[in-house]
Amino acid sequence: MPEVKSVDEVLLARVQADPATGRAIPDAATGETIGYAPEQAIVEVDVAVAAAKAAQREWDELGHAVRSKLLHAAADAVDANAEALARLLSREQGKPLDGPNARFEVGACVTWLRSAATTVLEPQVLIDSDTDHAVLTYRALGVVAAIGPWNWPLMIAIWQIAPALRMGNTVVVKPSEYTPLSVLALVDVLNEVLPPGVLVPVVSSDREVGARLAAHPDIDKVMFTGSTATGRRIVEASSANLARLTLELGGNDAGIVLPDADPKAIAEDLFWGAFINTGQTCAALKRLYVHESIHDEVIDALAGVVRRMPMGCGLDPGNVLGPLQNAAQFDIVARLVEDAEARGGRVVVGGEPAPELGANFFRATIIADLTDGVALVDQEQFGPVLPVVRYTDVEDAIASANGLDAGLGASVWSSDRVAARAVAARLRAGTVWINSHGTLHPEVPFGGVKKSGYGLEFGVEGLKSVAEPRIVSG
Ligand code: NDP
């Protein structure tokens, strides 16, 4: 009997390298090798950029209507390969198929591709009088570098690729060394419909490859999502090539629960705000400030939700929480939890690894009785751990929320939308949600302030960020 391969293995076979030359990529849950990623050298960055540059003019000249049609066709191709992509993503990244995880992520790729295909960036007439006329138009920039992280590798790649292509740019994609295979598979699927050279991947575990791409003289724009430290290096690199930058860096989003919130009603949304993708999400709820009058009820309701959410291997049906994607991230989370306990934190639920599930699993954890100044509150944990801080005066909670360098998102939880909006207006973050956290819409711009980065993605603003403004005056 010939061996029957699963859909993701068939897809993987299209992109993976020879085991003799490739780098073994582990299953995030089991540690077993799932495939081999190609290892490209710095010189291959130059080849990739040259190919993208050579293809750009023709791609631009196709015009918006044709590119829009091709982006819809690309969305159809992703749809047709959705289960294969989701399974590969689940194994490589660790996120379960179920819940707002792998299948959800692939679905978001389709949604964002279609949004980029249908959104129109209209010329803006600035002056139109008897004597003067000025109009602002937008053109392609050239070649865009899309440098991505390992937490939402497919969705974030699409956030970078789709608007860039729509505006007539070509793209060189550089996935994280931790999740190259699923991104390569996505690019391969997109390239079923895109012309050659329009979307070119470079893959490596050598940080110099990403550095070369960001600094390349023929790169006109870098779209980057990842750590603040790497973001700084990309800013430095841009001093040479003057590449435009969109930087989506880490966050340490605060949530403020006002005294009139209903603990039971908000518990599940609080949970998903903090624990989506097992907490490995840039705009996740990472520290929660709860008014003392309802503090214990909120903790109880939240802990109840945590206890009923299954964690385990991503391919096993029903699981909604998975492992930390890699051992380095597991160590960060374990160290922060240990330190928080030593500093007086009270573990309400979780608080320890789950070795019976696999090496990188850490139980979903809530730690109460913490204060600002403890590392788990002040630093981005990027894992399934939520620190809770009790407050008495909302002014103190607002000061705490605004007190860190990060400014990606924030949230306010209340039964009174007007009161919540008044607090929201005082929070310094790119997005402030009310009674939810981290919900994104392809037409609503998203981006950070302070050290969480700069530049907006999505919708019309997202198209502007990958375009060159041109004024025609007279
Ligand atoms: P990095 O910022 O190091 O990596 C992100 C991407 O940048 C990867 O593709 C990486 O390539 C690439 N890269 C690395 N060095 C350079 C460079 N000098 N120039 C251009 N590109 C470069 O993130 P990590 O994966 O190491 O994660 C570290 C921390 O970042 C996490 O602990 C977490 O706190 C945070 N993080 C935040 C994310 C967010 O969504 N904001 C997402 C992921 C992580 P390569 O992998 O090959 O080194």
Domain spans of the chain, in order of start: 7-249+452-473, 253-441
Per-residue pLDDT reduced to its tens digit, 453-468:
999 999 999 999 999 9
416 C-alpha to ligand 1 centroid (Å): 39
How many Å apart are CA 117 and CA 356, to the nearest integer? 45
> What is the residue with the minimal CA distance to atom 8 of ligand 1?
176
> How is residue 277 annotated by DSSP?
G
Q: Which value, in Å, is the radius of gyration of the alpha carbons in the chain?
A: 23
How many Å apart are CA 336 and CA 84, to the nearest integer? 35
35 C-alpha to ligand 1 centroid (Å): 21
Pocket of ligand 1 (CB under 6 A): 147-151, 174, 176-177, 204-205, 207, 210-211, 214, 225-227, 230, 233-234, 248-250, 282, 329, 332, 380, 382
Atom from ligand 1 closest to the CA of residue 250: 41
Three-state secondary-structure class, residue 113: helix
The closest of 438, 436, 398, 410 to 291, measured between CA atoms, is 398
| Beta carbons of 291 and 257 less than 8 angstroms apart | yes
Find the mean pLDDT for residues 354-366: 98
CATH H-level, domain 253-441: superfamily: Aldehyde Dehydrogenase; Chain A, domain 2 (3.40.309.10)
Atom from ligand 1 closest to the CA of residue 207: 48
pLDDT of 297 reads: 98
266 C-alpha to ligand 1 centroid (Å): 33
74 C-alpha to ligand 1 centroid (Å): 27
The closest of 202, 124, 200, 114 to 162, measured between CA atoms, is 114
Tell me the catalytic residues.
248, 282
Per-residue pLDDT reduced to its tens digit, 367-405:
999 999 999 999 999 999 999 999 999 999 999 999 999
Q: What is the dihedral of CA 370, 375, 380, 385, to 10 degrees?
A: -50
How many Å apart are CA 91 and CA 29, to the nearest integer? 7
pTM for this model (two decimals): 0.97
> What is the residue with the minimal CA distance to atom 19 of ligand 1?
211
pLDDT of 113 reads: 98
Centre a 10 Å sphere on the Cβ of residue 303 and count the other Cβ atoms it contains.
18
pLDDT of 59 reads: 98
Cite the DSSP H helix spans in 343-426: 375-378, 394-401, 417-424
| Beta carbons of 439 and 284 less than 8 angstroms apart | no
Using most ligand atoms within 8 A of CB, pick from 155, 176, 330 the residue to mutate for ligand 1.
Answer: 176
Per-residue pLDDT reduced to its tens digit, 62-114:
999 999 999 999 999 999 999 999 999 999 999 999 999 999 999 999 999 99
Residue type for position 394: V
Per-residue pLDDT reduced to its tens digit, 180-209:
999 999 999 999 999 999 999 999 888 889
Residue 1 has pLDDT above 70, yes or no: no
Quote the tokens at residue 266: 């908000």
Using most ligand atoms within 8 A of CB, pick from 230, 360, 382, 454 the residue to mutate for ligand 1.
Answer: 230
How many Å apart are CA 457 and CA 223, to the nearest integer? 9
Atom from ligand 1 closest to the CA of residue 205: 47
Atom from ligand 1 closest to the CA of residue 148: 9
For every residue of 2-47, which 3-state class applies, written as one string?
CCCCCHHHHHHHHHCCCCCCCEEEECCCCCCEEEEECCCCHHHHHH
Residue type for position 462: G
226 C-alpha to ligand 1 centroid (Å): 4
CATH H-level, domain 7-249+452-473: superfamily: Aldehyde Dehydrogenase; Chain A, domain 1 (3.40.605.10)
Q: How far is CA 242 from CA 104, 289, 468, in A?
A: 36, 41, 13
pLDDT band at 247 (very low <50, low <70, confident <90, very high): very high
φ, ψ for residue 22 (rounded to 5)? -85, 170
The upper half-sphere exposure of residue 46, i.e. CA atoms within 13 Å in the direction of its Cβ, equals 3
